[in-house]
């Protein structure tokens, strides 16, 4: 995970925990918020890893029982080693596989969180999180106005907070910081939307950021 990508994800974690009065926060406060948030994510990821282990154990037990009770093995001598048998793709098995795939995706996220927690202590990552936060703290009204003006047909107060926070981070970078390639900022905003928000969020965010780039960059 690149440093800037880690910074954006940590900034999103930070933004999700902030109250409305941004000026009451200092750098020490939001470092503590990020640290506590990462710890929470790690705890959740550990829970998901336990789910993965449980699902794998259950599927293995299912396969072993199916093999033991298959007619080809029941007809063999008691002390004979089982022979492999075909497993029918029943609805039950498909459901187990779907659950396992979902758990596997969460495991990958858990690995990301582990890396994120390590990167959170790197100076370059911390500095960029602080820079994003300071820009939004100083220009939050202007940034939210940019979102409002470009979210045609949408009430900004009714947007998902996660989507607003992703837009806030991207606009802070595009309009005020201006030291990262436009395409990278947009692509990584879309990746955050895919990872943390709804299926419709990436296209919504992409549309707004395209307008922001046209008007402000």
pLDDT in tens, the chain (217 residues): 477 888 888 888 888 877 777 777 776 676 777 677 667 767 777 777 777 778 778 888 888 898 899 999 998 988 889 998 887 766 667 777 777 777 677 666 666 655 665 666 667 887 888 899 899 999 999 999 999 999 887 777 778 899 999 999 999 999 999 999 999 999 999 999 998 888 889 999 999 999 999 998 8
- Joined together, the tokens standing for residue 167 give 């837009």
Instruction: Determine the pLDDT at residue 97.
Output: 75
Looking at the chain, how many residues does it have? Answer: 217
Q: According to CATH, what is the number of the domain 3-216?
A: 1.10.940.10
With CA atoms as reference, report the closest residue to 195 among 3, 2, 8, 19: 8
With CA atoms as reference, report the closest residue to 113 among 50, 40, 52: 40
Instruction: Determine the pLDDT at residue 171.
Output: 97
Cβ pair 180, 155 in contact under 8 A: no
Q: What is the CA radius of gyration of the chain?
A: 24
Taking the model in full, what pTM does it have?
A: 0.69
Instruction: Determine the pLDDT at residue 192.
Output: 92
Instruction: Determine the pLDDT at residue 204.
Output: 93
CA geometry: angle 109, 103, 69, nearest 5 deg: 155
Burial label for 7, CB within 10 Å (0-12, 13-18, 19+), is buried
Cβ pair 89, 45 in contact under 8 A: no
Cβ pair 163, 205 in contact under 8 A: yes
Query: Residue 93 and residue 78: Cα distance in Å, rounded?
Result: 27
């Amino acid at each position: 995970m690149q440093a800037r990508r880690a910074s954006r994800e940590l900034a999103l974690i930070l933004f999700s925990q902030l109250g409305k009065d941004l000026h009451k926060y200092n750098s020490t406060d939001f470092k503590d918020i990020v640290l506590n948030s990462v710890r929470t994510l790690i705890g959740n990821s550990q829970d998901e890893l336990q789910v993965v282990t449980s699902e794998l154990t259950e599927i293995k037990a299912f396969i072993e029982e199916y093999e033991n009770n298959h007619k080809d093995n029941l007809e063999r001598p008691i002390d004979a080693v089982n022979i492999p048998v075909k497993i029918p793709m029943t609805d039950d098995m498909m459901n187990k596989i779907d659950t396992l795939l979902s758990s596997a995706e969460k495991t990958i996220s858990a690995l990301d969180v582990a890396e994120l927690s390590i990167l959170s202590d790197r100076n370059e990552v911390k500095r960029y999180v602080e820079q994003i936060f300071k820009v939004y703290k100083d220009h939050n009204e202007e940034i939210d106005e940019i979102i409002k003006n470009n979210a045609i047909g949408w009430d900004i107060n009714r947007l998902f907070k996660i989507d607003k926070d992703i837009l806030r981070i991207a606009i802070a970078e595009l309009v005020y910081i201006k030291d990262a390639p436009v395409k990278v900022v947009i692509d990584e905003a879309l990746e955050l939307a895919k990872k943390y928000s709804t299926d419709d969020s990436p296209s919504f965010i992409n549309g707004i950021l395209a307008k922001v780039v046209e008007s402000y960059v």
